[in-house]
Structure 1
Amino acid sequence: MLRRYVEQLLNVYNYIDGILVTDKNGYIEYFVTYRPDVNRLKEKNILHKHVTEIYPGLTNKTSSLMRVLETGEAILNEYQTLVTYNGQSIRAINTTMPIKENNKIIGAVDVSRYIDLPYSRQNITLKSREDAEIGGLYTVDDIITSSQCMELVKEKIPRVANTDSSVLIYGETGTGKELVAQSLHTSGKRRNKKFISQNCAAIPGNLLESILFGTTKGSYTGAENKPGLFEIANGGTLFLDEINSMEISVQAKILKAIEEKQVCRLGSFTPIKTDLKIISAVNERPAQCVESGKLREDLFYRLSVVQINVPPLRDRINDLFFLVSYFIKQYNGFLDKEIIGIDEEVEELFKEYAWPGNVRELKNIIEGAFNVASSRFIQKRDLPEYITNPLMLNQEKFVSAPLNVSALAEGKGLNKALEEFEKTIISDAIESSISLVEAAKKLDITKQTLNYKLKKYGIK
């Protein structure tokens, strides 16, 4: 609730560097800094902690926030030098005001203008030659996370980046496999060489073969002397995405090229030596790809010398609002807007949603909301309908089954009738299954979505 007052505050103050909101007892409910180069505190590390815990040098008498909470009177343009719990010193001019509801103090808000050297505000940064040569690719620092499982992925990347061993990345669609692949490249000894990426899905075998290995003039009608990706990426990294969608005949030739470290262009018998780090990715479990015949077993073993599994967003839900803040900051820059967060109703919707499209889906939803938002906070009305009404995704599955119209006859309306029908289907699935995993599979939904619906309908 307190964060809603932030929007009103921003309508008064056109230029601020940071905002901190506490409840009536001094515990932090909201924090944002627009100058992370000056204030490196992160909301995830300080949320719900007392202001004197974050700034150990402050007491209830010296903290402007605690004084305002006690007196109910605003403090304007007070100069402060604050030292954070991790030793960072911040000089700022602060204005602190009480937040009141029905004449009772329910919290306080502190807005800051940081005092720094004049040229710092020009955002002048000097890039090293090495950084420039990376060419705008992602690095391991671009992997935004606060979850342990993704931190383990980040720790693993630098350890394997400098070797020539092939790496197989497994992750559902939208989890960020290319981000991991680029980070492997930019963290290793080949970072100043080329990084070439190719999605292998839905490309006919003959065409993909010419793309990968190149062609010689006359090898087929219209063919010209042209290098393939193995040649172009020579000395660097070649990333083959969705390799489980590649035709088996091409997989055999890729295995040969990797094993022999050389390729021949189509129509040529002259071998071309290659020196590459091969990174590949699949969007289905590798063992299942092999069992179903989508991936050659011998190629799997060759590609998966090191395997990195990228967990889906539903398994690292701690990252959800961390990523929301990151994308909001990103699109504020892209679209020249000043949105500062999501409201409480959207928070609850995001917590309950199963995120089948993972991080990519979240990013697209935030971008879509930016296009229609009329407030400083993203609201429920700014979201796509399939998020705000989960039944939308399941209605097509109900068409073939007879709908009990008693709810309609009783005047409960279509939504109530659909809810009762969905509850019946879920109950039947639970009764006919030996586990929630099996029931979720029958219903073609994730286990997290099933748990949400069980809680929603009170099904035990």
Structure 2
Amino acid sequence: MRELDLISQEVRQIAEAISLAIGCDVEVIDDTSTRMAATGTIKHTQGQKLNHGHVYRYAMQNKKTVIVEHPGRHFLCSDCNISKECYYLLTIAAPIIVDGSPVGVLAAIAFDIETASQIRIKITNLTDFIERMASLLSAKIKEYRLVKSLDLAMVELTGILNKVEQGLVAFSADGNVLHYNKPAVDLLGLRSHPDINSMNDAKVAKGVEAAVGQFISMDSKSRPSVVTVGLKSLLLDVETIAIPGDVHNEVITLVSFRDYSAVKKTASSITIAARPITFTDILTRSSSMRKLIDFAKKIANSSSTVLLRGESGTGKELFARAIHYESRRSGPFIPINCGAIPETLLESEFFGYDSGAFTGARREGKPGKFELADGGTLFLDELGTMPIHLQSKLLRVLEERRVERLGGKQSFPVDVRIIAATNENLEELVQDGRFREDLFFRVNVIPINILPLRERLEDIPLLAAHYLEHYFEKMGKKIECLSPEVEACMMKYGWPGNIREFSNVIEYAVNVEESNVLTLSSLPAQFGKMPARNTIQQQTKRLELQSILNEHGWGKLGKQRAAEMLGVSLATIYRWVNTYNLRP
């Protein structure tokens, strides 16, 4: 919208006033070369487009006043299409500048010799006057903007206040109601009155004043109190607020209140909420695991992306939550399992959507996980299962740190730390074309390979004690310890499901065991079928591969040589290196 259109009536009134004051015609031209105002002999052209205007365009572009006393001989007249038959005998054109940008021109003009002569006599004073009037028009536009922004802010504020769950009532110093929101009316039960049809109804204000006005004398520094209003118990708070800059030291009193039963319900849910996960929750005596934890603590405060790699059940989310807690990021930890959400919904879960983005979309839209995690951490579990088309969008977000909702028209910045996790060989997925190589390099900034349980067997007694205590608290069934036979059996088992499987085995055994010591008879069936876990074969393969790589190198050529010697594919070598957690 053209800026001068906002104050079109004032523009015409000011133009007429200037014309009467200085005794010549006046016109106001906007930045599209349209006459917004015109007086005297050209008044009938008001609203028309100029077919000339070099002088006005120059004044706006250079943001300075232009005076043309001899039309046709001024340098700006050389390219004008009416220079030989110009009817302007004299022009003073002052640009109208708003916040550094030209929005139009205010011009005093003469179409006859006598008027031109009169202007020349006092041209210095008139130029100053025209420039001041141009500044006045600029101030009018700013004033209009301010009023509109205040109106919009009031509408927005009212909308926000009506959306909060608290009832809010503001009182003046003499006890009159200044403002109240919709929840206040609803909580006080005033909507049930048959004569109340609108929020601005005087009966509503009187009802609000009668219901809570008695509490405005409460000490504003006192803690919230439970009061009874009608049939409801409300948690009520009173605060006195001084009006900034008021010379009379005026104050308003803000009374806020909530449904006390709802507050109790919320407090109960907060009380039982899960506590934050820290590195102390990762139980281990393994020196290798301790090194991993120390490394994770070291990089926790970084904003760089972390890739947690490891078999299923090794505790990748536990690590992710501990890293987030250690980072002290102010935002939340938001997990999303890329493999558990249908592909058709995954994009909207990630990026959210605006109203009307697709059939069935909420009218108010919905924020995505990136928005919800702003200021915090987004945990992408099972990253390798992400559809290839969504990988490109994720890559763009990681590079630009901006998100655009589905159906949205603009993007917005997000401050999100990404922690991804996978139990798949991403290098193999890249080779197969199922995972973007550029995304792999973007997420693999800080890789952490979490050890499987079979490589930290010294942790089994510690983990057993923990889960026995856990299931005692959960079931009320006390099992003191593992029998030596059970411990030895667990040390030989392969634990393909890692910590998750270990927890399930303990839970099963606690349910079955009848004594206070866990015995072999209470273990699941898989322990009876395989007394040992093919340890010798796996250990031999691990040592052989490590020996070959130490000899031929840990790069791609060394791995190709290992594949040839062991008679397997290069992708298998990569998988074994990851599975056995091999390092130079």
Quickly name the TM-score band, shorter chain normalised.
0.5 to 0.7
Give the number of aligned pairs. Answer: 278
Does residue 382 of structure 2 align to residue 242 of structure 1? yes
Give CA deviations for 1:406-436 in whole Å, capped at 9, x if unaligned.
Answer: xxxxxxxxxxxxxxxxx9xxxxxxxxx9779
Q: Of the two, which has the highest radius of gyration? A: 2
State the partner residue of 1:342.
482
Partner of 1:355: 495
From 451, 459, 478, give the equivalent of 1:311. Answer: 451
Within a 5 Å distance, the mapping from 1:426-445 to structure 2 comes to: none
1:289 counterpart (420, 423, 429): 429
> CA 1:436–1:379 in 2, change beyond 3 Å: closer, same or farther?
farther
Counterpart in 1 of 2:313?
174
What's the secondary structure of 1:302's corresponding residue?
A: helix
Equivalent residue, structure 1, for 2:326: 187
In 1: Cα distance, 2:531 partner to 2:327 partner: 47
Aligned pair partner of 1:227 in 367, 378, 383: 367
CA distance in 2 between partners of 1:151 and 1:294 (Å): 34
Q: Distance in 2 between matches of 1:220 and 1:341?
A: 57
Matched with 1:453 is: none
Q: Which runs of 5+ in 1 are unaligned?
A: 1-131, 395-422, 424-432, 449-460
For the pair 1:155 / 2:155, whether they are aligned, the reply is: no
Q: Is the 8 A contact 2:310 2:451 kept in 1?
A: yes
Q: TM-score, normalised by structure 2?
A: 0.44
Q: Deviations over 1:29-63 (max 9, x none)?
A: xxxxxxxxxxxxxxxxxxxxxxxxxxxxxxxxxxx
What runs of 5+ residues in structure 2 fail to find an aligned partner? 1-270, 538-563, 580-584
User: What is the rounded CA distance, in whole Å, between the counterparts of 1:157 and 1:136 in structure 2?
Assistant: 20
Aligned residue among 198, 207, 214 for 2:345: 207
Once the two structures are superposed, the pairs formed by residues 94-133 of structure 1 within 5 Å of their partners are none
> Structure 1: how far apart are the matches of 2:565 and 2:400?
49
User: What does the per-residue CA deviation read over 1:193-235, in whole Å, with 9 as the maximum and x for residues that have no partner?
Assistant: 2000011015333310000100112111111200000001111
Cα separation, 2, equivalents of 1:277 and 1:134:
23
Check the 8 A contact 2:354/2:408 in 1, yes or no. Answer: yes
2:285 is equivalent to residue 146 of structure 1: yes
- Of the two structures, which has the highest relative contact order with CA contacts closer than 8 Å and spacing of 6 or more? 1
Tell me if the contact between 1:203 and 1:246 (Cα under 8 Å) persists in the aligned partners.
no
Aligned counterparts of 1:300 and 1:211: Cα–Cα separation in 2: 21
| 1:209–1:382 CA distance, 2 compared to 1 (3 A) | same
1:376 and 1:154, CA in 2 relative to 1: closer, same or farther beyond 3 A?
same
RMSD: 3.4
Partner of 2:402: 262
Tell me: CA distance 1:437–1:221, structure 2 relative to 1, closer, same or farther (3 Å). closer
- 1:288 counterpart letter in structure 2: E
Q: Is the 8 A contact 2:335 2:379 kept in 1?
A: yes
Q: Aligned pair in 2 of structure 1 residues 322, 303: CA closer, same or farther (>3 Å)?
A: same
Q: Which residue of 2 aligns with 1:217?
A: 355
Residue in 2 aligned with 1:386? 526
Secondary structure at the counterpart of residue 348 of structure 2? helix
Tell me, in whole angstroms, the C-alpha distance in 2 between the residues paired with 1:391 and 1:338: 27
Match of 2:505 in 1: 365
CA deviations on 1:352-380 (whole Å, 9 max, x unpaired) are 11110001100110011111110101111
Separation in 1 of the partners of 2:331 and 2:485? 47
Cα distance change of structure 1 residues 291 and 134 upon mapping to structure 2, 3 Å threshold = farther
Match of 2:230 in 1: none
From the two aligned structures, give the one with the greater helix fraction: 2
Give yes or no for contact 2:286–2:459 (8 Å, CA) kept in 1.
yes
Distance 1:373 1:393 in 2: 24
Give the secondary-structure state (helix, strand or coil) at the position aligned to 1:175: coil
Find the aligned partners of 1:196 and 1:361 in 2 and give their Cα distance. Answer: 25
Q: Which residue of 2 aligns with 1:72?
A: none
1:253 paired with 2:393, answer yes
Aligned to 2:275, which of 129, 132, 136? 136
When residues 376 and 234 of structure 1 are mapped into structure 2, their CA distance, relative to the original with a 3 A threshold, is same
Which stretch has the larger CA shift, 172-181 or 285-294? 285-294
Corresponding residue number in structure 2 for 1:128 = none
What TM-score, normalized by structure 1, do the two folds share?
0.56
Q: Structure 1 residues 189, 391: closer, same or farther in 2, change over 3 A?
A: closer
Closer, same or farther in 2 for the Cα pair 1:253/1:434, shift >3 Å? closer
Q: CA deviation at 1:393?
A: 11
The letter for the 1-side match of 2:289 is M
Whether the aligned pair in 2 keeps the contact of 1:134 and 1:186 (CA below 8 Å) is no
Matches within 5 A, 1:325-336: 325-336=465-476
Query: How far 1:348 sits from its partner (Å)?
Result: 2.0
- CA displacement, residues 150-199 of structure 1 (integer Å, 9 cap, x when unaligned): 10111012211111111000010000000000001000131x42000011
Query: Larger deviation: 283-292 or 327-336?
Result: 283-292
Q: Distance in 1 between matches of 2:446 and 2:305?
A: 6
Distance in 1, Cα, partners of 2:520 & 2:337:
35
Partner SS, residue 238 of structure 1: strand
For residues 229 and 133 of structure 1, what CA distance do their matches in structure 2 show? 24
Could you tell me how far 1:256 is from its partner in structure 2? 0.6
Alignment of 1:10-49 (within 5 A): none
Q: Identity, % of aligned pairs?
A: 41
AA aligned to 2:294 is E
Inter-partner Cα distance in structure 1 for 2:567 and 2:411: 55
- Report the CA distance between 1:342 and its aligned residue: 1.1
SS in 2 for 1:169: strand
- 1:392-431 to 2 correspondence within 5 Å? none
Residues of 2 paired with 1:176 and 1:294: CA distance? 25
How far is the alpha carbon of 1:331 from its aligned partner? Answer: 1.4
Residue number among 254, 264, 279 corresponding to 2:419 in the alignment:
279
Whether the 8 Å CA contact 1:157–1:187 is kept in 2: the answer is no
